[in-house]
Amino acid sequence: MKRVLATITLSVFLIIAGIFSYIKINAKSVSLDTTNSMFVIKSGEGLVNISQNLKSKSLIKSRYSFLFYAYYLGLNKKIQAGTFKLSPSLSTPEIVAKLSKGGVTDYWLKIIDGTRVEENISSFPEGTSFVGKEGYLFPDSYLIPQNYTADQILSIIQTNFDQKFAEAKVGATNTKMTDKEVLILASIIEREARTLKSKQEVSGVLLNRLEIDMALQVDASVQYARDSKNKPADYWKQLNSADLSVASPFNTYQNKSLPPSPICNPGYDSIYAAFHPIKSNYLYYITGNDNQMHYAATLKEHDSNIAKYLN
């Protein structure tokens, strides 16, 4: 019995010794290359993802060694979001230490769903050109190095937009529209509905109107037309009767087609809804005083909904 216990103890010891040997060997630097590269940790990103990203960028030999030293050095809860200059010449313990001390000077740039370009200008370097960018400033939080130029910032945002747009397009049932038309539709949906389901329902309604050459009559597009002319301090204020007569291709009460370009920067759910509408026979919708969407197939039903949910 003693021999069995001794054998088991020796086996356990050898296993533990092997693990520590593995960790120690793989904690050494990847190479002697001292060239720094920028490594980004996003807000809320966990240690496992961080270790995987470090490994994929060839900054560490083993993600297990990284996780071990993060806890062994007591720095696992001190590693924070930011942009860091790291080189393959750093050992794993050195990388863990650097990640726990904060990154180089950078800042967060946040674009909110449904805002138009003018509402985001102050977040960009002075003189940034936003020509043709309406609809393409994908709503998200971006960690931007302090020394990045406007073009570099816009490139980061464009890359994110391209990725998310492609993801939303997978399995699309709205196949008659061009990508630009889908984005325009998505920008309208963004201002008209809140939940993913209601966005998909509104998408279906708007497509029904376009199918029969019926004016979309979307208040948000008229708000965009009005505010593009007046440049107010606050955008998206409620319309009055005079606003409905504003002469503009964005006035969807006067024109029976989509606006010529997006009216805001839509988020992922709105883009997804434009690609994946929920089919129905509805031609009308309102957001009632109960904060719920109410749909109708006829004008009579629509008027009834207005009387019931808006008065």
Last residue of a domain, one of 58, 84, 99: 99
The three-class DSSP label of residue 79 is: coil
**Is the pLDDT assigned to residue 12 strictly greater than 80?**
no
| Dist CA 95 CA 158 (whole Å) | 30
pLDDT of residue 15: 62
Q: 118 and 83 share a domain?
A: no
Last residue of a domain, one of 119, 143, 165: 165
Q: 192 and 263 share a domain?
A: yes
Question: Between these two residues, 11 and 258, which has the higher pLDDT value?
Answer: 258
Q: Quote the pTM value.
A: 0.72
CATH (domain of 56)? 3.30.1490.480
Q: Is residue 134 part of a domain?
A: yes
Q: 184 and 85 share a domain?
A: no
pLDDT band for position 269 (50/70/90)? very high
Mean pLDDT, all residues of the chain: 91
Q: Is residue 9 part of a domain?
A: no
Question: Between these two residues, 3 and 200, which has the higher pLDDT value?
Answer: 200
The first and second tokens of residue 237, run together, are 């204020």
Q: Is residue 131 part of a domain?
A: yes
| Dist CA 185 CA 200 (whole Å) | 11
Q: Is residue 11 part of a domain?
A: no
Last residue of a domain, one of 118, 142, 165: 165
Q: How many CB atoms lie within 10 A of CB 266?
A: 32
Q: 72 and 123 share a domain?
A: no
pLDDT per position as a tens digit, 75-129: 888 887 778 889 999 999 999 999 988 676 678 899 999 999 999 999 999 999 9
DSSP state of 264: S
Q: 43 and 76 share a domain?
A: yes
**Is the pLDDT assigned to residue 192 strictly greater than 60?**
yes
DSSP string, 4-51: HHHHHHHHHHHHHHHHHHHHHHTTS-S-S----EEEEE-TT--HHHHH
The mean pLDDT value for 159-175 works out to 97
pLDDT of residue 210: 97
Total structural domains within the chain: 3
Give residue 157's domain range: 106-165
Q: Is residue 3 part of a domain?
A: no
Question: Between these two residues, 241 and 134, which has the higher pLDDT value?
Answer: 134
Q: 179 and 293 share a domain?
A: yes
Q: 201 and 147 share a domain?
A: no
Q: Is residue 297 part of a domain?
A: yes
Q: Is residue 201 part of a domain?
A: yes
pLDDT of residue 23: 78
Q: 118 and 176 share a domain?
A: no
